[in-house]
Amino acid sequence: MSDETWENDETPLTEELKEKEPPLEIQDVTVREYPKTVLFYPMILISLILGLTNFLVPVFILDPTLQSNLLFTITFIWFVLFFFNLLVVTFEFGKSVVVALALILIIVILIVALVFTWYGYLFVINPSSLRLYMNMESYIAFFIVFLFVIFLSWIKTRMYYFRITPNEIIYKKGIMGDVERYGTTNVMVHKEILDLFEFLLLRSGRLTFTIPGRMTAILLDNVPNINSVENKILYLLRRIEVDLD
């Protein structure tokens, strides 16, 4: 894990919250840690859309050459998008990484511009010349695979999750529903946004609970809607302090 974060917010519960409190009274908050495989969800839509496009091209395009070029181009687009989605799932794009990638992109653009200026033309890769091809059944197969993987991830989050109340942090785990309980007195909540693309795709980040008397902190990675979840948790945990006062 990178030490650099996009957002780092550690809040003692004794301090006044700067965030707005939830507009409705809430009794508890359920926090689920999702595996990074859920970040493949764009490929579900992409595979379905391009699969349908692959099916419709022969219906509306009668010219065999143009039809083949379009089908090759569609497959090329799928592989490019899959490649970038795979990068997002595999690596963490912290602040320094994103800055480095932006600089590399600028350098590449400048080099291409210089080549165009010096020689008056650009070497352009024609996607259809690569002759990559998948039929409609292949797109649908990938659609089903990605959907199934995300469904399994969803099932896991229903067996392993945290429920926070004003008095307790309850950790439920496993099919048998084993439970661990911790008190909320003097609990520290630490929010981090470690990956830009995770935040863009799911508004997700890491939540850390530091509990007095527990040797290790509770780390929850890839929590969707991280800002909203954090606000609700801090609101709940502050209620016990108000009651005690």
Q: What is the pLDDT of residues 179-218, one digit of tens each?
A: 888 888 888 888 988 888 888 888 999 998 888 878 888 8
pLDDT, the chain, mean: 79
Give the residue with greater pLDDT, 11 vs 198: 198
Highest mean pLDDT range out of 39-43, 130-134, 175-179? 39-43
- The CATH number of the structural domain formed by 7-33+160-244 is 2.30.29
pTM beyond 0.75: the answer is: no
Structure tokens at 140: 């649908």
Q: Which two tokens stand for residue 61?
A: 């395009």
Q: What is the rounded CA–CA span in Å between residue 162 and residue 168? A: 10
Positive or negative, the CA dihedral 155, 220, 227, 149 is negative
56: exposed, middle or buried (C-beta count within 10 Å: 0-12, 13-18, 19+)? exposed
- The residue ranges of every structural domain in the chain are 7-33+160-244, 39-150
Evaluate if residue 4 carries a pLDDT over 80: no
